[in-house]
Structure 1
Amino acid sequence: MKEKIQEFLATDLLERYLMDNVTELESARVERYIAMYPDVRKEYLELQENLETYARLYAVKSPEGLRERIMHRVARERAGRRKFINYSIAASVAALFMAGASFFFWNQNQNLQQENALVNNKIQVLEADMKEQLEDVRNQFIVLNNPGTRKFMVNGNRKARELKAIAYVNPVKKLSYINVRNLPNLPEDQDYQMWAEVNGEMVNLGVLGQISDKDKLMALPYGDKGISYITIEPKGGNTTPSVQNIVADFSY
């Protein structure tokens, strides 16, 4: 910006402007620079004073009243230009304010759009979760109340004799659930884990926590030849079942 001002001051535009020897475009440029840049405005006022001083020193005696008329005109033009400069400064400040306000509101709008997108995503996730939960409740109702549902009692082996569970399988609706009603206590570094082998593929159904709701049903993958296992695994579960630690299993 300073280089731009220096380049302008290096020209003779200010001198020619004072001598009224500029084009309309040059005049508009000079007046814009005077309004926007204090260094240019200071130089302009100094040149104006120097020109007046020079004119006084080398002036030829003028007719009576001419000096007063000229000074009156100069004062009038100076007042007009000063008024223009003040308006220009005010316009520049207003433009800067409007630019700042526009950026602020644009930034606020961007933030609101981002927040709106996050809220919409959360709503979609909640709607999907609710839909899934409602579907699960509907399936549980079908399994428990449909006369075609078969029920299997599941008991633990010698490693977990107190383990009790009930499996529900409906081959018509192709739905399977299990209700684990009792799990023997384990050391703190071990967990029970549920598995299902469906059509030759092993599916990890997750770690079984403490039984807080004895009526809770856990969905099982349905298959024509399904086998479920409950194993004892290290704390937090395992990626593959420990066959030697199977404590219960049933076919459906």
Structure 2
Amino acid sequence: MKEKIHSFLETDILERYLLGDTSTEESLRAERYIAMYPEVHKTYVELQENLELYAKMHALKTPENLKGQILAKIRAEKRAGNKFFRLAIAASFIAFLFAGATYFFWNQNQDLQEKNSMVSNQIKDLRADMRVQLEDLRNQYIVLNNPNTRRLQVRGNQRAEELKAVAYVNPVKKLSYINVSNLPQLPEEQCYQMWAEVNGELVSLGIINEFDNAEQLLALPYADNAVSYITIEPKGGKMTPSVDKIVANIKY
């Protein structure tokens, strides 16, 4: 059932349904999933709230007292000079204000179009981020629950004896993750950094102590007989590993 829900959330039907851009069949499917599955309903509500927030952030206000200012000016002009002159001034002023208001609203419309385009791009980026996160969650679920997954206990060497981690490797799905559950404390000017061997080169996977959640799974590039390393590096990390400061090897 979870696979079915995740498969649905990986599509963009929910976002397009919210924007009124789905076919009749897609709309019925979206409404059915929203009604039946709390996870889908929660995602739908979050999307609604995001759109409402964008709409409130970029809503345009009508200039205050514009009508009152025009009428007040006309009345003032009507009290000065002869009737024809007064009407001529009023007509000219109205024409001037009309031209100004036209330009104002045209300019505001251009600004609104730009903001709408920006919001649309932000929604696309949000949708792309959601897809990436959902894909990563799906892969984590597979790795943690698939019977073909191998669990490898990782221990630190004498430099970091208290380091503990578990690597999860699934050769069928070609997925691998690592969960670092314990890291010995380092001086403030140092950090732990993860590396993976990719095409014969060591590539940085990030600074491990930035992942504060003990349940965090860090994706590892999958390869047959692959090797990953954890090293001690200066605070902020490095572009190349300090091979003399390796504290753990992960072979999978």
Provide the C-alpha distance between the structure 1 equivalents of 2:110 and 2:204, rounded to a whole number of angstroms. 43
State the match for 2:185 in structure 1: 185
Aligned-pair distance for 1:85? 5.2
CA RMSD, 1 decimal: 1.7
Provide the C-alpha distance between the structure 2 equivalents of 1:215 and 1:91, rounded to a whole number of angstroms. 73
State the match for 1:141 in structure 2: 141
CA 1:216–1:97: 2 relative to 1, 3 Å: same
Provide the C-alpha distance between the structure 2 equivalents of 1:91 and 1:215, rounded to a whole number of angstroms. 73
Q: Secondary structure at 2:94's aligned position in 1?
A: helix
Aligned-pair distance for 1:199? 2.8
Post-superposition Cα deviations, 1:152-209, rounded to whole Å, max 9, x if no partner, equal: 1111001000001110111111111001011000000000000000231322101011
Post-superposition Cα deviations, 1:105-158, rounded to whole Å, max 9, x if no partner, equal: 011112212222222222222211111111111101100111111121111001
Aligned-pair distance for 1:89? 3.4
Q: Secondary structure at 2:157's aligned position in 1?
A: coil
Q: Trace 1:94-243 onto structure 2 (pairs within 5 A).
A: 94-209=94-209, 212-243=212-243
Provide the C-alpha distance between the structure 1 equivalents of 2:135 and 2:211, rounded to a whole number of angstroms. 23
The aligned length equals 171
Q: Structure 2 regions of 5+ residues with no counterpart?
A: 1-81
Provide the C-alpha distance between the structure 1 equivalents of 2:134 and 2:97, rounded to a whole number of angstroms. 54
State the match for 2:20 in structure 1: none
Larger radius of gyration: 1
The alignment status of 1:246 with 2:246, answered yes or no, reads yes
Provide the C-alpha distance between the structure 1 equivalents of 2:210 and 2:93, rounded to a whole number of angstroms. 69
Q: Structure 1 regions of 5+ residues with no counterpart?
A: 1-81
Q: Secondary structure at 1:148's aligned position in 2?
A: coil
Provide the C-alpha distance between the structure 1 equivalents of 2:136 and 2:202, rounded to a whole number of angstroms. 22
What percent identity do the matched residue pairs reach?
A: 63
Provide the C-alpha distance between the structure 1 equivalents of 2:158 and 2:211, rounded to a whole number of angstroms. 20
Post-superposition Cα deviations, 1:14-58, rounded to whole Å, max 9, x if no partner, equal: xxxxxxxxxxxxxxxxxxxxxxxxxxxxxxxxxxxxxxxxxxxxx
Provide the C-alpha distance between the structure 2 equivalents of 1:89 and 1:184, rounded to a whole number of angstroms. 83
Q: Secondary structure at 1:209's aligned position in 2?
A: helix
Q: TM-score normalized by structure 1? A: 0.63
